[in-house]
Amino acid sequence: MDTNKTLREHISALVDGELPEADAELAFAALHEKDGKQAWDLYHLITDTLRATPAPSLSPGFADRLAARLALEPAPQPPDRSDSSSNSSASSSVSGSASSSGAPEPAGLAAILANPGAS
């Protein structure tokens, strides 16, 4: 019997309000452990996501404004590989830094979403 799997199943049932009273003590004890707490958080996140209300409708013309703004953004450029003596620049570009890759900053999209009427 896989004890971790059983504990995760108990925690999931507890989150859903379906845990038999006989198993409650074991589930509550598991919540004091790191893995139990992580499972609790994950199951609540899943539940919250499944029960979330749908996103509101976008304003008319949103897709056109977004496409126009994206067309103005510079195309992403591959990292400059001419400096082969430095491995640190290669590792920093792998870490996902948007500014070193030339990709548009996420704030641009946030500005569009925050101001749908501005163009």
Residue spans of the domains in the chain: they are 3-51, 57-76+100-119
pLDDT value at residue 110:
61
Residue pair 116/109 in contact (Cβ under 8 Å)? The answer is: no
Cα 68 to the chain's mean position, in Å? 26
pLDDT value at residue 106:
53
Spell out the residues 6+ positions from residue 71 whose beta carbon is closer than 8 angstroms to its own.
none
| Single-letter amino acid, residue 55 | A
pLDDT value at residue 2:
81
| Single-letter amino acid, residue 65 | R
Distance CA 33, CA 115 (A): 45
Write the pLDDT tens digit of every residue in 75-100. 888 888 776 554 444 444 444 444 45
Give pTM, 2 decimals.
0.42
